[in-house]
Amino acid sequence: MNLSPNKNFCLIVNPHGGRKKGLHLLSEIQPIFDTAGIKLEVIVTEFAGHAREIAKQKDLVGYDGMIVIGGDGTMHEILNGLFTREDQQTIPIGLIPGGSGNSLIVDLELTDPVDAAKAIVDEHIRKFDVVEITTNGRTVYSFNIIGWGLVTDVGIRAEKWRWLGPARYTIVSLLKVLRGTQARSAQLILDGKEIADEFTFVMVCNTRYTGAMKIAPQAKLDDGLLDVIVLRHGASRLKLLSLFNRIYDGTHVEDPVVEYYTASQISLTSNQADPLNIDGELTGTTPFDIEVRPRAIEMFDRRKEKCQNRLVISGKGGQSVPLC
């Protein structure tokens, strides 16, 4: 079903995201909305945090949705702006891939900007989960990942190599593995079950993908659960390299050294205040508490919402859980 005429959208474009193609993408997709009779109010972000400020403060009355041209960082800002509004008003979000990391858009299978624009015009709206993280006495909202340990080490180093685009994560990860990984002691609690040990990393995932890496192949955006990938310390460099080669197709989770859990409430306490990687942003430290806000945000998607079951992996067994 196409959107009826006289629809109004606020479109936020990050001209500096990814390879700085945001304004070019706008010119590419503008005709699609013009043909559908949809009016766009275009706002170009001017500084880091501007998208968050717009999403938090803009009067949303009269708008049928918010379109974002950018990557994971811009989407992270939009999410945290919307969910900290004083009026608690939300609005459907349409995402056009324009960043160096487009994890959410890969999960939605809308990596082509034209396809993403058409999904908005066709008004396929679905509700997705939002992740609420409490860290350092404040609340941060996430749609993608919360990483701790090696995952954050890679993110910190990769910030200096942004000019390489998504490839920077691959290169830095390999360098880190070859130089040896750090053991971190922590207490991880998954829905009341405690795991205390030394870890290489823990990654909490709402999406299947992080960039091009299929980190959590069982993850669903709307099942009320988070997929937790755990790697305890002790795996050899050779083992880590073999896992890295399999991370792009998701088969790394089949290796016995990789533990895969699902949970809706998660906390982690480490022996020191370690930094976190939240949706690719280096923000917050341990300890942290996480809770899922099921189906708390509306987004435009190519598919109409439908019910299906998923296999939830939890240690040795699994259970079938309805998505809606």
68-79 pLDDT, tens per residue?
Answer: 999 899 999 999
Residue 160 has pLDDT above 80, yes or no: no
220 has a pLDDT exceeding 60:
yes
Report yes or no on 301 lying in a domain.
no
Domain that residue 68 falls in: 8-123
| Token pair of 208 as six digits | 């299947």
Which residue, of 71, 104, 123, is where some domain finishes?
123
Whether omega for the bond prior to residue 97 falls within 30 degrees of 0, making it cis, is: no
Average pLDDT of the residues of the chain:
88
2 part of a folded domain: no
167 & 263 share domain: yes
Is residue 58 predicted with pLDDT exceeding 60? yes
Task: For residue 81, tell me if it sits in a domain.
Answer: yes
Provide the number of structural domains found in the chain.
Answer: 2
Q: What is d(CA 110, CA 112) in angstroms, rounded to the nearest whole number?
A: 5
Q: What pLDDT score was predicted for residue 315? A: 45
Active centre residues (catalytic): 72
**C-alpha distances in angstroms, 226 versus 68, 209, 223, 269?**
25, 13, 8, 18
Residue 210 belongs to some domain of the structure:
yes
**Which of 91, 123, 155 delimits the end of a domain?**
123
In a domain, 24, yes or no: yes
Are residues 182 and 116 both part of a single domain? no
- Distance (Å, whole) CA 73 – CA 48: 10
Helix (H, G, I), strand (E, B), or coil: what is residue 21? coil
Q: Rounded to whole angstroms, how far apart are CA atoms 324 and 322? A: 6
pTM confidence score: 0.88
Q: What is the mean pLDDT of residues 104-117?
A: 93
Domain with residue 258: its CATH number is 2.60.200.40
In a domain, 312, yes or no: yes
Whether 182 and 276 share a structural domain: yes
- b/e per residue 217-231 (b: at least 16 CB within 10 A): bbbbbbbebbbbbbb
